[in-house]
Structure 1
Amino acid sequence: MSISSALSNALSGLNAVSRAADVVSSNVANAMTEGYGKREIELTSQQLGRYGSGVSVVGVTRYHDPVVTGERRYAGAEAALENTRAEFYDSYAAAMGQADEKDSIAGRITGLETALIEAASRPDSEARLATVLDAASDLTTQINDASDSIMDTRMAADKEIAQTVDFLNSALQQVVDLNVAIQKQITQGYDANGLMDQRQTLVDQISEFIPVNEVEKDNGMISLYTNGGAFLVDSKAATLGFTQTPIITPDMTVYGGALSGLTINGLDMPTSTDKGPIAGGKLAGLFEVRDVLAPQAQTELDALARDLIERFQTPDADSTLAIGDAGLFTDGGVAFDVLNEEGLAGRISVNALVDPDQGGDLWKLRDGLGAVTEGDQGDATVLNSLANALQKSRVAASGGLTGIERSALGFAADIYSLAETNQLNAEADLTYASARRDSLEAIELENGVDTDQEMQRLLVIEQTYAANAKVISTIEALMDQLMGI
């Protein structure tokens, strides 16, 4: 081997070692960076004629396991979906209140029942009649507030859907832009791994809302499509469409045209959480809250409000009522109409005839809402009838909890129990999904940067660098000796 060949080999070795040190330092620096793919340098020996001519750097490879990453994305989307459900049931159960709490709906029913019994023991006491009015008002207010909470949840879900659609449209276009930039970098012979890291982070964010499959194409480009077969990124980005509704009332549905659905490239898309183009992620969960879970909760509350109104809107509860008269509880001041149950929980109120602040008289709680003049102050017949009406077991006419006779308290307790059961089930599903996601994230990290291994590689690089530098210094000494001859 000639001195020039030896010098060429050593110089190429220094260049390769320097590049390797750069790769190792990048790995160590980004060991905790989300979306970062571990780099590995690729080297090959150079050949000049029949002799070796050092080493050359082929490139830097970004390590990526598409199977593990894909599974982790699905698990993350499932966890986001279950978290959306759990948050809804938690807010619904909170709005109902625990059955054993005084300020819950069940607690307010118990308070009204107690007030009626105490007033019946002293029907001449105006203070006890006022307590009945307050208890009845507290009950209707609690039901109204729970109904308002459900409507607020629906509007919040609708708003978040709009924000999510805006984000997805922006993110999908960014993926397309990164595709183009990566293709350009690769075709020009530059390192595009940093851009690939950015793209992976974007796809991770997208998959939380809509689970996506990633397909690799030529020159580092990718396509994205959902499990339901909707393409989100190919040669260009898909466009998602949605219109936010500022005010939502119980009667408004997407099927009736009052609420916006989702479109992809102008085509209407189903939004089911189980199957369809966007199934399995947070976006589908938000649609489920707005269009399924919250309306079902509203239906249950409306059934409870109806049950309360109908209990007191009969001659058995108040013999002074005529057919069609409103009882102690009303639908916004009028008698309940079975054809107008939707949203009843938000309208239920105490009859103004017993409220002095609305021109009524407290004594009508004792003598009957249909009484024209005040009767015997010691007569507790109507008060006892009202208490019996509240305690009486009857079959609810609506709300999905039909077929079983319940008292008013039993009905409220069963609705809360159903909400709490759904909450516990959602939290259990969330725990499972989160554990699966965390497990896959751990596997992905194991395949990522191992700082111990990188430091070991750095020691080898240091030794290799020193060896190549020693060759150059030796060649320099030889050249000095030759020049001195």
Structure 2
Amino acid sequence: MSITAGLSSALSGLNAAARAAEIVSSNIANAMTDGYGRRELQLSARTVGSTGQGVSITSVVRHSDPIVLGDRRLAEAESGSSATTASFLKRLESVLGTVDSAVSLGSRINDFDTALLQASSRPESEARLSNVMQSAKALAAHIATAGADIQIVRSTADDQIENQVGQVNTALSRIADLNGQIRSNTGTGRDASALIDQRQQMIDSIAKIIPLREVPRDKGEVALITTGGAVLLDGLPVQLGFNPVGEVVADMTQASGGLSGLTLNGKPISTRAEGGPVSGGTLAAQFAIRDDLALQAQQKLDAVARDLIERFAASGLDATRTTGSAGLFTDAGAAFNFAAETGLAQRLSINAAADPAQGGALWRLRDGLGAATPGATGNSQLLNGLQAALTAQRVPASGGFMTGARSFAMLAADLVSGTATARVQMDSEATYASARLDTLKSMQMEQGVDTDQEMQSLLVIEQAYAANAKVIAAIGEMMQKLLEM
């Protein structure tokens, strides 16, 4: 080998070792960076004619397991969906109140029942009549507050949908740009690994919102297709459309046109939580909360409010009331109209005739809501009737409850227990989804950067660098000797 060939080989070795050290350093520094793929330098022998002339850097290979990556993304979408739904059910259970809560729906009913029993034993007691009024108002307020909170949740879901649609549109546009840059780098032989890392991060930001699959295309580009079959990106990105309403009220639905659905490039698409083009992630979960789960909860709560109103407006209970007039519990002060049940829970209130805070008189709880003057103070007939109405076995007229007659306390217990059962089931699903996601993340990490292995590689690279440097130093000494001759 000539001096020139030896020097060329050593310089190529130094260059390869320096590049390899740079890649190993990058691997170690980004071992915990999301979306980062381990790099490895690919080398080949460099020849001039039939003579070896050192090494040539062929390419930088980015390692990633597409199967584990895809499964991890799907698991992330599933975990996000179940966690979002579980959070809603937990909030609903909390606002209704669990059985061990001092301010639960059940405890409000029990307080009202107790107050009626105590007042019926001492109907002349102003304090006991006042206690009946306060417990009745607390019960109505509890139901109304729960109904209002359901609409707050629906409004929040509407806002979340807007935010997530914006995130998806922004990420898709960015991924399309990165596709173009990666195609350009690949075409000119430049390393596109850093751009691919950025693209993976952008895809990950979408995957939790809408579950998707990444499909490779020519020259390093990718297409994105949801598990429901909608194409989000294949060359050009799609544009998701959504119009938020700000504040959601009980009678607003997609079917009535009061709430916005989702469009893809201007065309409406289904927002079903299962089987739809965007089902399975947090976006579909927010639609399910706004349009299905919260609506079902509202319907059941309205049915409970209706049952309460109708119990205390039954004919024959209060002889002083005119036909069709409101009982103790009212629909915003008026008699209940079965054609306007939606949102009834929020409108539930106490009849002003018996409420001193509204200009009424407590003695009407004893003597009748339509009474013009106080009657005999020892008459407990109406109070006994009110307590009997609360505990009477009655079949609910709406709400989709199981068939069968029950007391008002049992009807409310059915509502609370149904919510608790759904919450426990969803918590179980969320726990499973989270464990599966953690497992897939661990598998992905195991296939990622092994810092011990990288440090060992760095030692080998340092030795190669030192060997090539020693060859160059020896050639330098030889050249110096020749010049001195």
**Band of TM-score, shorter chain:** over 0.9
For residues 322 and 301 of structure 1, the distance between their equivalents in structure 2, rounded to whole angstroms, comes to 28
Determine the C-alpha separation between the residues in 2 that align with 1:100 and 1:409: 15
Q: How far apart, CA to CA, are the structure 2 residues paired with 1:48 and 1:188?
A: 24
Residues 158-177 of structure 1 mapped to structure 2, 5 A cutoff = 158-177=158-177
The within-5 A match list for 1:456-475 is 456-475=456-475
Q: Aligned partners of 2:2 and 2:359: how far apart in 1? A: 115
Deviations 1:385-443 (CA, angstroms, capped at 9, x unpaired):
10111111211111111412221111111111111111111111000001111110111
Partner of 2:263 in structure 1?
A: 263
Shift of 1:105: 1.5
Q: SS of the residue aligned with 1:232?
A: strand
CA-based RMSD:
1.1
Per-residue Cα deviation, 1:260-283 (whole angstroms, up to 9, x for no partner): 000001111001111111010000
| Counterpart in the other structure of 1:409 | 409
Alignment of 1:25-174 (within 5 A): 25-174=25-174
Distance across 2 between alignment mates of 1:32 and 1:387: 65
Within 5 Å, give how 1:186-197 maps onto structure 2.
186-197=186-197
Aligned counterpart, 1:430: 430
- In the alignment, the residues of structure 1 paired with residue 367 and residue 91 of structure 2 have an alpha-carbon distance, to the nearest angstrom, of 41
Please give the per-residue CA displacement for 1:436-468, whole angstroms capped at 9, x wherever unaligned: 111101111111110000000001001111111
Q: Residues of 2 paired with 1:283 and 1:454: CA distance?
A: 40
For the pair 1:289 / 2:289, whether they are aligned, the reply is: yes
Distance 2:357 2:462 in 1: 89
CA distance in 2, matches of 1:287, 1:263: 13
Q: Measure how far apart 1:181 and its partner are.
A: 1.3
SS at match of 2:190: coil
Query: CA deviation digits over 1:66-122, x for unaligned, max 9?
Result: 111000000000001001101110111111011342322211111110110110111
Name the aligned partner's letter for residue 483 of structure 1.
Answer: L
Once the 2 structures are TM-superposed, how far is the Cα of residue 8 of structure 1 from its aligned partner?
1.3
Q: Distance in 1 between matches of 2:318 and 2:411?
A: 22
Which residue in 2 is equivalent to 1:376?
Answer: 376
Find the counterpart in structure 2 of residue 24 from structure 1: 24
Question: Which amino acid in the other structure matches residue 144 of structure 2?
Answer: N
Counterparts of 1:46 and 1:162 in 2: how far apart (Å)?
Answer: 56
Residue in 2 that maps onto 1:179: 179
Structure 1 residue 209 displacement after superposition: 0.4
Contact 1:250-1:342 within 8 A present in 2 as well: yes
Determine the C-alpha separation between the residues in 1 that align with 2:291 and 2:394. Answer: 30
CA distance in 2, matches of 1:307, 1:100: 24
Give the aligned partner of residue 245 of structure 1. 245
Query: Is the Cα–Cα contact under 8 Å of residues 316 and 385 in structure 1 kept in the other structure?
Result: no
1:125 Cα deviation (Å)? 0.5
Q: C-alpha distance in 2, partners of 1:375/1:292?
A: 50
Aligned counterparts of 2:95 and 2:342: Cα–Cα separation in 1? 19
Matches within 5 A, 1:237-386: 237-386=237-386
Q: Tell me the amino acid that sits aligned with residue 84 of structure 1.
A: T
Alignment deviations for residues 201-228 of structure 1 (CA, whole Å, 9 cap, x no partner):
0000101101111111111111111112
% identical equivalent positions: 49
* Partner amino acid, structure 1, of 2:131: T
8 Å contact from structure 1 (residues 41, 61) kept in 2:
yes
The CA distance in 1 between the partners of 2:407 and 2:463, in whole Å, is 84
Q: Is the 8 A contact 1:100 1:107 kept in 2?
A: no
| Contact preservation (8 Å) 1:330, 1:348 | yes
Any residues of structure 2 matched to 1:199-214 within 5 Å, and which? 199-214=199-214
Report the counterpart of residue 215 of structure 2 in structure 1.
215
SS in 2 for 1:224: strand
Q: Quick check: 1:44–1:58 contact (8 Å CA) kept in 2?
A: yes
Deviation at 1:470, TM superposition (A): 1.5
Preserved contact between residue 241 and residue 264 of structure 1 (Cα < 8 Å) = yes
Q: What is the CA-CA distance between 1:359 and the residue it aligns to?
A: 2.1
- What SS does structure 2 have at the residue aligned with 1:360? coil
Distance in 2, matches of 1:423 and 1:33, equals 35
Q: Which runs of 5+ in 2 are unaligned?
A: none
Count of aligned residue pairs for this structure pair: 485
Structure 1 residue 184: Cα displacement: 1.6
Amino acid in structure 1 at the alignment position of 2:280 = G
Deviations 1:367-394 (A, max 9, x none): 1112232111001111011011111121
Letter in 1 for 2:276: G
The one-letter code sitting in structure 2 at the alignment partner of 1:101 is S
Q: Which residue of 1 aligns with 2:391?
A: 391
| 8 Å CA contact retained: 1:395, 1:402 | no
The alignment partner of 2:46 has SS state of strand
Corresponding position of 2:235:
235
Distance in 2 between residues matched to 1:391 and 1:43, nearest whole Å? 85
Contact 1:311 1:317 in 2 (8 A): no
Structure 1 letter corresponding to 2:472: I
Measured in 2, the distance between the counterparts of 1:276 and 1:415 equals 29
One-letter code of the match for 1:474? A
The SS at the match of 1:395 is coil
The equivalent residue for 1:420 is 420
TM-score w.r.t. the length of structure 2 is 0.98
Return the letter of the residue paired with 2:7.
Answer: L
- 1:358 partner letter: Q
SS at match of 1:473: helix
Residue identity in the other structure for 1:252 = M
Q: Distance between the aligned counterparts of 1:249 and 1:122, measured in 2?
A: 43
Structure 1 CA distance for aligned equivalents of residues 135 and 327 of structure 2: 16
> How far did residue 316 of structure 1 move?
4.4
Partners of 1:317 and 1:133 lie apart in 2 by 18
